[in-house]
Amino acid sequence: MEQASIDMFRNVFAGGLALLMMATVYTLVSPMLAGDKTKKRMKSVLSERDTLRKAHLDGLQKNNGLRGESNGFVKNIVDNLSLERLLAAPDLRDKLMQAGLRGSRPLQLFYFFRLALPIAFGIFGLLYFVILNPLDWPPFNTIFAMIASVLLGYYAPNIYLKNKAGKRQAAILPAFPDALDLLLICVESGMSIELAFGRVSSEMAEGSIELAEEFSITTAELSYLQSRRQAYENLGRRNNHVGIRAVSTALVQSERYGTPLGQTLRTMADENRQLRVLQAEKKAAALPAKLTVPMIVFFLPVLFIVILTPAVMRIGESFAS
Protein backbone atom coordinates (compact mmCIF):
# COMPACT_ATOMS: atom_id res chain seq x y z
CA MET A 1 0.00 0.00 0.00
CA GLU A 2 2.84 2.35 0.87
CA GLN A 3 4.66 1.51 -2.38
CA ALA A 4 1.50 2.25 -4.39
CA SER A 5 1.19 5.63 -2.70
CA ILE A 6 4.82 6.42 -3.51
CA ASP A 7 4.31 5.40 -7.15
CA MET A 8 1.18 7.54 -7.39
CA PHE A 9 3.04 10.51 -5.91
CA ARG A 10 5.86 10.01 -8.42
CA ASN A 11 3.40 9.89 -11.32
CA VAL A 12 1.65 13.05 -10.14
CA PHE A 13 5.01 14.78 -9.68
CA ALA A 14 6.17 13.68 -13.13
CA GLY A 15 2.91 14.86 -14.70
CA GLY A 16 3.15 18.25 -12.98
CA LEU A 17 6.78 18.60 -14.06
CA ALA A 18 5.82 17.77 -17.65
CA LEU A 19 3.05 20.40 -17.57
CA LEU A 20 5.49 22.99 -16.25
CA MET A 21 7.97 22.15 -19.02
CA MET A 22 5.23 22.45 -21.65
CA ALA A 23 4.13 25.80 -20.22
CA THR A 24 7.73 27.05 -20.28
CA VAL A 25 8.21 25.98 -23.91
CA TYR A 26 4.90 27.60 -24.88
CA THR A 27 5.86 30.85 -23.13
CA LEU A 28 9.16 30.96 -25.02
CA VAL A 29 7.79 29.97 -28.43
CA SER A 30 4.42 31.80 -28.49
CA PRO A 31 5.90 35.32 -29.00
CA MET A 32 7.71 34.10 -32.13
CA LEU A 33 4.56 32.50 -33.55
CA ALA A 34 2.18 35.32 -32.68
CA GLY A 35 3.58 37.86 -35.15
CA ASP A 36 3.10 41.59 -34.89
CA LYS A 37 -0.24 42.03 -33.14
CA THR A 38 -0.01 45.80 -33.38
CA LYS A 39 0.12 45.74 -37.17
CA LYS A 40 -2.74 43.26 -37.34
CA ARG A 41 -5.02 45.30 -35.09
CA MET A 42 -4.16 48.58 -36.81
CA LYS A 43 -4.81 46.97 -40.18
CA SER A 44 -8.25 45.91 -38.96
CA VAL A 45 -9.22 49.49 -38.14
CA LEU A 46 -7.60 51.20 -41.14
CA SER A 47 -10.48 49.94 -43.27
CA GLU A 48 -13.09 51.59 -41.01
CA ARG A 49 -13.93 54.16 -43.68
CA ASP A 50 -14.76 51.41 -46.15
CA THR A 51 -16.83 49.70 -43.46
CA LEU A 52 -18.82 52.87 -42.86
CA ARG A 53 -19.40 53.30 -46.58
CA LYS A 54 -20.51 49.68 -46.92
CA ALA A 55 -22.90 50.04 -43.97
CA HIS A 56 -24.36 53.14 -45.58
CA LEU A 57 -24.87 51.31 -48.88
CA ASP A 58 -26.41 48.33 -47.09
CA GLY A 59 -28.85 50.68 -45.40
CA LEU A 60 -29.81 52.14 -48.75
CA GLN A 61 -30.33 48.69 -50.22
CA LYS A 62 -32.47 47.69 -47.25
CA ASN A 63 -34.61 50.79 -47.65
CA ASN A 64 -35.03 50.03 -51.35
CA GLY A 65 -36.34 46.57 -50.56
CA LEU A 66 -33.31 44.65 -51.77
CA ARG A 67 -32.62 41.34 -50.05
CA GLY A 68 -29.16 40.42 -48.83
CA GLU A 69 -27.60 37.06 -48.35
CA SER A 70 -27.69 35.19 -45.07
CA ASN A 71 -24.65 35.58 -42.83
CA GLY A 72 -24.77 32.12 -41.28
CA PHE A 73 -26.33 29.88 -38.70
CA VAL A 74 -26.27 32.39 -35.82
CA LYS A 75 -27.92 35.13 -37.88
CA ASN A 76 -30.65 32.76 -39.04
CA ILE A 77 -31.49 31.80 -35.46
CA VAL A 78 -31.50 35.42 -34.28
CA ASP A 79 -33.70 36.53 -37.17
CA ASN A 80 -36.09 33.58 -37.16
CA LEU A 81 -36.70 33.70 -33.41
CA SER A 82 -36.73 37.54 -33.29
CA LEU A 83 -34.21 37.48 -30.45
CA GLU A 84 -33.38 41.17 -30.86
CA ARG A 85 -36.95 41.98 -29.87
CA LEU A 86 -37.45 39.26 -27.23
CA LEU A 87 -34.07 39.59 -25.50
CA ALA A 88 -33.49 43.29 -26.12
CA ALA A 89 -30.82 44.86 -23.88
CA PRO A 90 -30.61 48.62 -23.28
CA ASP A 91 -27.65 50.37 -24.92
CA LEU A 92 -26.28 47.05 -26.14
CA ARG A 93 -24.50 48.50 -29.16
CA ASP A 94 -22.76 51.06 -26.97
CA LYS A 95 -21.65 48.34 -24.55
CA LEU A 96 -20.29 46.25 -27.42
CA MET A 97 -18.35 49.21 -28.78
CA GLN A 98 -16.99 49.94 -25.31
CA ALA A 99 -15.71 46.36 -25.22
CA GLY A 100 -14.06 46.80 -28.63
CA LEU A 101 -16.60 44.64 -30.48
CA ARG A 102 -17.82 46.37 -33.61
CA GLY A 103 -20.17 45.34 -36.38
CA SER A 104 -23.31 43.23 -36.54
CA ARG A 105 -21.61 39.89 -35.85
CA PRO A 106 -20.94 40.51 -32.10
CA LEU A 107 -24.53 41.72 -31.69
CA GLN A 108 -25.88 38.51 -33.18
CA LEU A 109 -23.52 36.39 -31.08
CA PHE A 110 -24.64 38.20 -27.93
CA TYR A 111 -28.31 37.40 -28.53
CA PHE A 112 -27.46 33.84 -29.55
CA PHE A 113 -25.49 33.17 -26.36
CA ARG A 114 -28.13 34.89 -24.25
CA LEU A 115 -30.54 32.22 -25.56
CA ALA A 116 -28.15 29.27 -25.67
CA LEU A 117 -26.29 29.64 -22.36
CA PRO A 118 -29.37 29.52 -20.06
CA ILE A 119 -30.51 26.37 -21.87
CA ALA A 120 -27.06 24.77 -21.62
CA PHE A 121 -26.61 25.74 -17.96
CA GLY A 122 -30.16 24.60 -17.20
CA ILE A 123 -29.51 21.17 -18.74
CA PHE A 124 -26.26 20.92 -16.79
CA GLY A 125 -28.04 21.87 -13.56
CA LEU A 126 -30.78 19.32 -14.24
CA LEU A 127 -28.29 16.53 -14.86
CA TYR A 128 -25.87 17.38 -12.05
CA PHE A 129 -28.04 18.71 -9.22
CA VAL A 130 -31.33 16.87 -9.83
CA ILE A 131 -30.57 13.56 -11.55
CA LEU A 132 -27.05 12.72 -10.34
CA ASN A 133 -27.19 14.76 -7.10
CA PRO A 134 -23.69 13.79 -5.87
CA LEU A 135 -23.95 16.23 -2.98
CA ASP A 136 -27.14 14.56 -1.71
CA TRP A 137 -28.97 17.86 -1.39
CA PRO A 138 -32.65 18.13 -0.43
CA PRO A 139 -35.15 18.97 -3.22
CA PHE A 140 -35.35 22.66 -2.32
CA ASN A 141 -31.58 23.14 -2.60
CA THR A 142 -31.39 21.28 -5.91
CA ILE A 143 -34.19 23.38 -7.44
CA PHE A 144 -32.52 26.55 -6.18
CA ALA A 145 -29.17 25.48 -7.66
CA MET A 146 -30.81 24.71 -11.00
CA ILE A 147 -32.51 28.12 -11.11
CA ALA A 148 -29.22 29.79 -10.16
CA SER A 149 -27.43 28.00 -13.01
CA VAL A 150 -30.06 29.22 -15.50
CA LEU A 151 -29.72 32.80 -14.23
CA LEU A 152 -25.94 32.53 -14.43
CA GLY A 153 -26.21 31.48 -18.06
CA TYR A 154 -28.55 34.39 -18.81
CA TYR A 155 -26.30 37.04 -17.24
CA ALA A 156 -22.99 35.51 -18.39
CA PRO A 157 -22.84 37.53 -21.68
CA ASN A 158 -23.37 40.79 -19.77
CA ILE A 159 -20.67 39.85 -17.26
CA TYR A 160 -18.28 39.05 -20.11
CA LEU A 161 -18.99 42.38 -21.82
CA LYS A 162 -18.52 44.32 -18.59
CA ASN A 163 -15.17 42.66 -17.84
CA LYS A 164 -13.92 43.13 -21.40
CA ALA A 165 -14.97 46.80 -21.42
CA GLY A 166 -13.28 47.34 -18.04
CA LYS A 167 -10.00 45.85 -19.27
CA ARG A 168 -10.15 47.94 -22.44
CA GLN A 169 -10.82 51.12 -20.47
CA ALA A 170 -7.98 50.32 -18.08
CA ALA A 171 -5.65 50.04 -21.10
CA ILE A 172 -6.85 53.33 -22.63
CA LEU A 173 -6.93 55.69 -19.65
CA PRO A 174 -3.21 55.79 -18.68
CA ALA A 175 -2.19 56.83 -22.22
CA PHE A 176 -5.09 59.21 -22.92
CA PRO A 177 -3.54 62.42 -21.43
CA ASP A 178 -0.34 61.82 -23.42
CA ALA A 179 -2.42 61.33 -26.56
CA LEU A 180 -4.15 64.66 -25.91
CA ASP A 181 -0.74 66.36 -25.59
CA LEU A 182 0.32 64.91 -28.94
CA LEU A 183 -2.99 65.95 -30.45
CA LEU A 184 -2.45 69.48 -29.13
CA ILE A 185 1.04 69.62 -30.65
CA CYS A 186 -0.27 68.44 -34.02
CA VAL A 187 -3.14 70.94 -34.05
CA GLU A 188 -0.93 73.87 -33.04
CA SER A 189 1.60 72.94 -35.72
CA GLY A 190 -1.04 73.60 -38.37
CA MET A 191 -2.46 70.13 -39.01
CA SER A 192 -6.16 69.61 -39.59
CA ILE A 193 -8.03 67.69 -36.94
CA GLU A 194 -8.37 64.64 -39.24
CA LEU A 195 -4.61 64.48 -39.90
CA ALA A 196 -3.91 65.12 -36.21
CA PHE A 197 -6.05 62.18 -35.09
CA GLY A 198 -4.44 59.95 -37.71
CA ARG A 199 -0.91 60.91 -36.70
CA VAL A 200 -1.60 60.44 -32.99
CA SER A 201 -3.17 57.02 -33.66
CA SER A 202 0.01 55.85 -35.39
CA GLU A 203 2.22 57.28 -32.62
CA MET A 204 0.17 55.71 -29.80
CA ALA A 205 0.07 52.22 -31.33
CA GLU A 206 3.08 51.09 -29.32
CA GLY A 207 1.85 52.49 -26.00
CA SER A 208 -1.85 51.62 -26.18
CA ILE A 209 -3.21 49.73 -29.17
CA GLU A 210 -6.77 50.20 -27.89
CA LEU A 211 -6.41 53.98 -27.87
CA ALA A 212 -4.82 53.85 -31.32
CA GLU A 213 -7.87 51.94 -32.55
CA GLU A 214 -10.22 54.55 -31.11
CA PHE A 215 -8.33 57.40 -32.73
CA SER A 216 -8.18 55.53 -36.05
CA ILE A 217 -11.94 55.05 -36.00
CA THR A 218 -12.41 58.74 -35.16
CA THR A 219 -10.15 59.63 -38.10
CA ALA A 220 -12.26 57.53 -40.44
CA GLU A 221 -15.48 59.04 -39.12
CA LEU A 222 -14.14 62.58 -39.43
CA SER A 223 -13.27 61.83 -43.06
CA TYR A 224 -16.52 60.11 -43.97
CA LEU A 225 -19.36 61.42 -41.81
CA GLN A 226 -21.06 64.65 -42.83
CA SER A 227 -20.76 66.22 -39.36
CA ARG A 228 -17.67 66.29 -37.16
CA ARG A 229 -19.97 66.62 -34.19
CA GLN A 230 -21.25 63.09 -34.76
CA ALA A 231 -17.69 61.72 -34.88
CA TYR A 232 -16.85 63.42 -31.56
CA GLU A 233 -20.04 62.13 -29.96
CA ASN A 234 -19.24 58.61 -31.18
CA LEU A 235 -15.82 58.85 -29.53
CA GLY A 236 -17.46 59.60 -26.18
CA ARG A 237 -20.09 56.91 -26.70
CA ARG A 238 -17.50 54.22 -27.40
CA ASN A 239 -15.61 55.02 -24.18
CA ASN A 240 -17.67 55.17 -21.01
CA HIS A 241 -15.33 57.32 -18.95
CA VAL A 242 -15.74 60.79 -17.47
CA GLY A 243 -12.52 62.19 -18.94
CA ILE A 244 -13.08 60.93 -22.48
CA ARG A 245 -16.71 62.03 -22.47
CA ALA A 246 -15.61 65.48 -21.27
CA VAL A 247 -13.14 65.70 -24.16
CA SER A 248 -15.86 64.65 -26.57
CA THR A 249 -18.22 67.30 -25.24
CA ALA A 250 -15.51 69.97 -25.38
CA LEU A 251 -14.71 69.10 -29.01
CA VAL A 252 -18.40 69.29 -29.90
CA GLN A 253 -18.70 72.70 -28.26
CA SER A 254 -15.54 73.89 -29.99
CA GLU A 255 -16.95 72.79 -33.32
CA ARG A 256 -20.32 74.42 -32.64
CA TYR A 257 -19.21 77.77 -31.19
CA GLY A 258 -15.86 78.16 -32.92
CA THR A 259 -13.70 78.30 -29.79
CA PRO A 260 -9.94 77.73 -30.30
CA LEU A 261 -9.27 74.03 -30.53
CA GLY A 262 -5.76 74.28 -29.09
CA GLN A 263 -6.98 75.92 -25.89
CA THR A 264 -9.69 73.29 -25.53
CA LEU A 265 -7.23 70.42 -25.94
CA ARG A 266 -4.76 71.98 -23.48
CA THR A 267 -7.46 72.31 -20.82
CA MET A 268 -8.73 68.77 -21.39
CA ALA A 269 -5.19 67.34 -21.23
CA ASP A 270 -4.61 69.01 -17.85
CA GLU A 271 -7.93 67.73 -16.49
CA ASN A 272 -7.30 64.15 -17.65
CA ARG A 273 -3.81 64.24 -16.19
CA GLN A 274 -5.30 65.31 -12.86
CA LEU A 275 -7.81 62.47 -13.12
CA ARG A 276 -4.96 60.02 -13.67
CA VAL A 277 -3.16 61.34 -10.56
CA LEU A 278 -6.37 61.08 -8.53
CA GLN A 279 -6.83 57.47 -9.63
CA ALA A 280 -3.27 56.66 -8.56
CA GLU A 281 -3.81 58.35 -5.19
CA LYS A 282 -7.06 56.44 -4.73
CA LYS A 283 -5.31 53.13 -5.33
CA ALA A 284 -2.50 54.10 -2.96
CA ALA A 285 -4.99 55.07 -0.24
CA ALA A 286 -6.79 51.75 -0.58
CA LEU A 287 -3.55 49.75 -0.31
CA PRO A 288 -3.33 49.60 3.55
CA ALA A 289 -6.85 48.21 3.84
CA LYS A 290 -6.11 45.60 1.20
CA LEU A 291 -2.88 44.55 2.94
CA THR A 292 -4.56 44.01 6.30
CA VAL A 293 -5.89 40.52 5.58
CA PRO A 294 -2.67 39.19 3.94
CA MET A 295 -0.64 40.48 6.87
CA ILE A 296 -2.93 38.81 9.38
CA VAL A 297 -3.01 35.51 7.48
CA PHE A 298 0.63 35.23 6.38
CA PHE A 299 2.83 37.47 8.52
CA LEU A 300 1.42 37.20 12.03
CA PRO A 301 1.61 33.37 12.29
CA VAL A 302 5.24 33.43 11.16
CA LEU A 303 5.98 36.22 13.63
CA PHE A 304 4.42 34.25 16.48
CA ILE A 305 6.40 31.16 15.51
CA VAL A 306 9.69 33.10 15.47
CA ILE A 307 8.98 34.73 18.85
CA LEU A 308 7.51 31.75 20.72
CA THR A 309 9.70 28.93 19.39
CA PRO A 310 12.79 29.70 21.59
CA ALA A 311 10.59 29.99 24.69
CA VAL A 312 8.87 26.67 23.91
CA MET A 313 12.24 24.98 23.36
CA ARG A 314 13.59 26.26 26.68
CA ILE A 315 10.47 25.14 28.53
CA GLY A 316 10.80 21.71 26.94
CA GLU A 317 14.46 21.42 27.92
CA SER A 318 13.66 22.45 31.52
CA PHE A 319 10.97 19.78 31.81
CA ALA A 320 13.24 17.18 30.22
CA SER A 321 15.99 17.90 32.73
Is there a single domain that holds both residue 163 and residue 80? yes
pLDDT in tens, 157-183: 889 999 998 888 888 888 888 888 888
CB 100 within 8 Å of CB 168? yes
Examine residue 138 and state whether it is found in any structural domain, yes or no. yes
Q: Residues of 273-290 as b/e, b for ≥16 C-beta within 10 angstroms?
A: bebbeeeeeeeeeeeeee
* Averaged pLDDT of the chain: 78
Q: Are residues 88 and 159 located together in one domain of the fold?
A: yes
Confidence of residue 254 (pLDDT cuts 50, 70, 90): confident
Q: Please state the pTM of the whole predicted model.
A: 0.65
44 vs 88: CA distance, rounded Å: 28
- Mean pLDDT (whole number) for 258-278: 84
For residue 222, count other CB atoms closer than 10 A to its CB: 22
Of 149, 173, 197, the last residue of a domain is 173
Q: Tell me, rounded to whole angstroms, the distance of Cα 35 from its chain centroid.
A: 22
pLDDT in tens, 39-75: 565 555 555 555 655 655 555 445 433 333 445 777 7
- pLDDT of amino acid 68: 37
> What's the CA gap between 98 and 111, in Å, rounded?
17
| Predicted pLDDT at 244 | 86
Question: How many domains are contained in the chain?
Answer: 2
205 pLDDT band, cuts 50/70/90, is confident
Domain end, chosen from 173, 199, 215, is at 173
- Of all residues in the chain, the percent with pLDDT exceeding 90 is 1
In terms of residue numbers, what domain contains 148?
70-173
- What average pLDDT does this structure show over 204-225? 86
List b or e across 235-266, with b for residues whose CB sees 16 or more CB atoms inside 10 angstroms.
bbbbbbbebbebbbebbbebbeeeeebeebbb
